[in-house]
Structure 1
Amino acid sequence: MVLKEAGFDIGPILAGAGVVGLAVGFGAQNLVRDLVAGMFILLENQVRINDVAIINGTGGLVEQINLRTIVLRGLDGTVHIFPNGAINTLSNMTHEFSYYVFDVGVAYKEDTDRVVEVLRELGEEMMQDEKYKPLILAPLEILGVDKFGDSAVIIKARFKTLPVQQWTVGREMNRRIKKRFDELGIEMPFPHRSIYWGEASKPFAIRSEQDRNELKALIREVLAEQSWQAKSTQPTPSRTENQERK
């Protein structure tokens, strides 16, 4: 009232204050939502630093957790920052233990029982390896023939490992599978593509004057034969027509 009596128009001031208050209210609402979500994430131990997680479809190593945000670093080094209140799905790939799943494809002609036995032997070798034994929590679990693909039979298996160590164990196992299959002649089919580098047919080439003369003679023969056939197909005049002409 004092400002109004002093001659100031307080309408714009009140409108501006309302806009600012509305913006602060929305900001505070989002902040409160992030803080509440962050509190539950920490209390429930859903994810920890150095876990590998997938948040809203984006995966990476958890580098930072606080009440407001979670920070992931992708495999290519990209840093992703997620407000806790905006997290719809959170998948922890390394909580307590991890699995590496193998989809081993072999040709239809191969004996699947033999392939399973080879995989089992390789799993036992991994368990006895001093370098990889401490990373593996359980023997290789062979789940069996999983499906029939377009060109391969898929056999599924998996290793249970320490958190974050599934890729180390899995890559070594893949290397050994490829090497052993090559040694035993077990075929691992893959798509083939045939590429034909063709060209349009070229015109008949006349290489010499003799070829030119032979071509001309051939054309004359063809034309003469066509002319003779045309004449032979013409109707013969009847006797009445001949008398009328006379």
Structure 2
Amino acid sequence: MRATLAGVIVLALAYLVAELVSRVLAALVERINRHVPGDLSQRKSTRAALRLVRFIITLLVAAVLIFPAMSMVGIESRIGLSPEHLATWLTGSGLRIALIALLAWLVVHVTGLVVRRLEGEIGTSATVDVIERAKRARTLGTLIQNTIYVLVSTISLLMILRELNVDITPILTGAGIVGLAVGFGAQSLVKDIISGFFLILEDQIRVGDVANIDGTGGLVERITLRTIILRDETGTVHVIPNGSIQRLSNQTKDFSFYVTSVSVNIREDTDRVTQVLTRVADGMQQDVEFAPFMLGPLEVLGVDRFNDAAVDVKMRLKTVPSKQWVIGREFLRRVKRSFEDEGIELPVAHRTLLVSQAPMVPPDPGPDTPPPS
């Protein structure tokens, strides 16, 4: 009865201390989370981590108090571990192990909070490619969180094993040998992953961009740390390892230009043609269907070239990414109709045909025909 009573009192005290510490940690986490967006899964993981911390603190406090409580009720320990030695270990190595575990959890949790806050700020920015930037932020956030989790967990585990007087030298040696073997056997994989990380980090390309990679062009459907997946206009899917990319041309980075030339008859006034082209572009900017995709007025670059029959006027339109072809096709359709209304002639090819008539040759009379007199 005395032992049971002492155990119940110790467990109650341990639970109270653990509850107090967990409530302080919960208030601290709630204060950090106040301005950081989070989802249901993140809140569940936070509650699970707090329950784990409460359980560990309960065990530690109970282990510290159980032997003094038993001594106070007149029960001596029959195991080889004295209360003094246990208390010394708990206040030394045990406390350091608890602090290591707590700091590791705090580092992982704070990293997750910072990543979510950055994702929230990027996702609410007023840009034309919010979706692509949000995808890039989520990709980088997941990569950073996984990297920090692996590093912190590994370092914490090694420190805890050292506090438990476990020789970690063979572990470090084995890890070095394994890392060396992986480095020699998977050089291309490591190169692909490193290249993919910098592609995403430097925002060189995003999902939804139209890019040309080493002569292969298409729409970017997916980006991973190892590969980029393109789909061209015929529907063919191209899988390109990141480490093999030598030249990447992004045609839809931040904005795009539709560059074209319009040919008119050599006799037409180019200033009048320029006015018609500008009027057509201004009309498209007033159209609610095409105005959101146009980022500026028409830029007429001038006369590009001319020959005996035609003169070419070069121009370009600035559009949002991936919309230059839609705007360009509509612009050319309206230009054709406006030229017809204004009487602007398109170039007509002139061909000169020379027909030569060969002299008539009399037929051969044959051997039986008498010669003419």
1:175 — aligned with what? Answer: 333
2:254 — aligned with what? Answer: 96
Confirm or deny: 8 A CA contact 2:183 2:190 kept in the other structure. Answer: no
Give the aligned length.
186
* Equivalent position SS for 2:277: helix
**Distance in 2 between the 1:125 and 1:100 partners?**
17
Structure with more strand by fraction: 1
**Distance in 1 between the 2:219 and 2:345 partners?**
36
Identify the match of residue 131 of structure 1 among 262, 273, 289: 289
Structure-to-structure mapping, 1:1-246, within 5 angstroms: 28-149=186-307, 151-189=309-347, 223-224=372-373
Normalised TM-score (structure 1)? 0.67
Identity of aligned residues (%): 52
**Distance in 1 between the 2:230 and 2:308 partners?**
38
Q: Does 114-123 or 25-34 show the bigger shift?
A: 25-34
Q: Deviations over 1:26-47 (max 9, x none)?
A: 7612112211211111110000
Say if 1:149 and 1:43 are closer, same or farther in 2 by CA, change over 3 A: farther
Q: Deviations over 1:135-169 (max 9, x none)?
A: 11101111111222564211111111111111111
1:122 is aligned with what amino acid?
A: V
Say if 1:27 and 1:76 are closer, same or farther in 2 by CA, change over 3 A: farther
Normalised TM-score (structure 2)? 0.45
2:53 — aligned with what? Answer: none
2:372 is aligned with what amino acid?
A: L
Residue 193 (structure 1) shift: 7.7
Q: Which ranges of 4 or more aligned residues in structure 1 deviate by more than 3 Å? A: 24-27, 190-195
Q: Deviations over 1:6-43 (max 9, x none)?
A: xxxxxxxxxxxxxxxxxx87761211221121111111
Structure with more helix by fraction: 2
Q: Deviations over 1:64-102 (max 9, x none)?
A: 101111000001111011111111111111111111112
* Equivalent position SS for 1:36: helix
Say if 1:48 and 1:194 are closer, same or farther in 2 by CA, change over 3 A: farther
2:303 is aligned with what amino acid?
A: V
**Distance in 2 between the 1:26 and 1:223 partners?**
102
Gaps of 5+ in 1: 1-23, 196-202, 206-214, 225-246
**Distance in 2 between the 1:27 and 1:113 partners?**
66
Say if 1:31 and 1:151 are closer, same or farther in 2 by CA, change over 3 A: farther
* Equivalent position SS for 1:187: coil
RMSD: 3.0
**Distance in 2 between the 1:47 and 1:139 partners?**
27
Gaps of 5+ in 2: 1-181, 354-360
**Distance in 1 between the 2:349 and 2:185 partners?**
54
**Distance in 1 between the 2:250 and 2:352 partners?**
43
2:198 is aligned with what amino acid?
A: F
Q: Deviations over 1:191-231 (max 9, x none)?
A: 57899xxxxxxx999xxxxxxxxx99xx75x621xxxxxxx
Say if 1:76 and 1:146 are closer, same or farther in 2 by CA, change over 3 A: same
Say if 1:149 and 1:44 are closer, same or farther in 2 by CA, change over 3 A: farther
**Distance in 2 between the 1:63 and 1:175 partners?**
30
Structure having greater relative contact order (Cα 8 Å, sep ≥ 6): 1
